[in-house]
Amino acid sequence: MTAKIIDGKAIAAELRAEVAKGVAKLVGDGGPTPGLATVLVGDNPASHTYVRAKRKACAEAGIDSFPHELPATATQDEVESLVRTLNADPKVHGILVQLPLPPGLDEEAVLKSISIEKDVDGFHPLNIGRLAQKGREPLFVPCTPAGCLVLLKKAGAKLEGANAVVVGRSNIVGMPAALLLVKENATVTICHSKTKDLPGVVRSADIVIAAIGRTEMIRGNWIKPGAYVIDVGINRKEDPTTKTGYRLVGDVAYEEAVEVAGAITPVPGGVGPMTIALLLQNTMHAAQRTA
Ligand code: NAP
């Protein structure tokens, strides 16, 4: 069997086009131009790249972006005070604090200081809490896990009653992905570094979400034939044939898994492009809510 390839790039492009249309309609109807404030603390090069990409995508969708940069030496007070200013700014509908924050800053306190109406990353403890509770709905859902769910649905996965295994329990990917699957009535197992017989657990899954950060750890013979596999991992693998000396691969051994799975996301071009698309959608929803 050869898996269907879930084209995250194409699905994200469709979603971004829909957001651009939604934004044009909102503004055309006299509503506000959605605005996203980005807060970048310190000089982590990867964070700078991510924020640049997010701002470019905003511009393409007709969303204003307001960049704010603080030095790595910024105090907790300075970061939270910037967030409070943005909370009060009516042009700003969404606030994105790029993680990780430099050592010494209290990430939880910063995320908590974001107004939940502007928490377009969905990391505020109230939004995560609502995601975890039955019968409650968060205002925003974290973008990467939400992107995983969009990909599964677009690929035609039946979530209700499915056995889903999420490998990884981070606050930003694994745990919210598991909570979203529970909301879709899947039966969910969450695995982590202390899980016993990981291959055996993964083999039971109709749906696998891999969010580990370990190069090609999930092998083809761990995958149940026909399973839907969503690979969130982004890892560098040495490759002397490339200019950079490396290429990006996921947490799943793609070449093996593609022979067994029913559907699978590639890396790159799978989950990665979805994160920004969902951020744009969340920002548009935040602006629509104020209109
Ligand atoms: P993280 O915070 O480091 O979490 C990794 C998780 O994997 C942890 O829960 C850890 O378990 C678990 N784990 C580590 N080694 C394991 C092992 N040998 N067996 C089973 N579980 C193991 O990472 P993250 O932020 O969730 O990111 C995961 C991956 O997704 C990374 O490659 C990252 O680059 C990528 N990512 C991609 C996007 C995107 O596509 N847009 C966004 C975010 C992240 P413990 O909890 O026990 O430590």
* pLDDT for the residue numbered 2: 92
Asked whether 173 lines ligand 1 (CB < 6 A), one says yes
Q: pTM above the 0.95 mark?
A: yes
Distance CA 46, CA 28 (A): 36
| Residue 98 designated active-site | yes
Pick from 170, 236, 248, 278 the residue to mutate for probing ligand 1's pocket: most ligand atoms within 8 Å of its CB.
170
Provide the sign of the torsion angle of the four alpha carbons 13, 217, 180, 102, taken in this order.
Answer: negative
* pLDDT for the residue numbered 1: 67
- Asked if 21 and 280 count as a contact pair (C-beta separation under 8 A), the reply is no
Pick from 49, 234, 235, 254 the residue to mutate for probing ligand 1's pocket: most ligand atoms within 8 Å of its CB.
234
Asked whether 191 lines ligand 1 (CB < 6 A), one says yes
Distance CA 290, CA 138 (A): 16
Nearest alpha-carbon partner for 175 in 148, 155, 199: 148
Distance CA 95, CA 121 (A): 8
Per-residue pLDDT of the chain in tens (291 residues, 90 and over written 9):
699 999 999 999 999 999 999 999 999 999 999 999 999 999 999 999 999 999 999 999 999 999 999 999 999 999 999 999 999 999 999 999 999 999 999 999 999 999 999 999 999 999 999 999 999 999 999 999 999 999 999 999 999 999 999 999 999 999 999 999 999 999 999 999 999 999 999 999 999 999 999 999 999 999 999 999 999 999 999 999 999 999 999 999 999 999 999 999 999 999 999 999 999 999 999 999 999
Cα of 84 vs centre of ligand 1, distance in Å, is: 31
225-246 as b/e: b if 16+ CB within 10 A: eebbbbbbbebeeeeeeeeeee
Residue type, 147: G
Torsion of CA 215, 4, 273, 112, to 10 degrees: -70
Residue nearest to atom 48 of ligand 1 (CA): 193
Asked whether 112 lines ligand 1 (CB < 6 A), one says no
Token representation of residue 82 = 């910037």
Nearest alpha-carbon partner for 117 in 291, 253, 290: 290
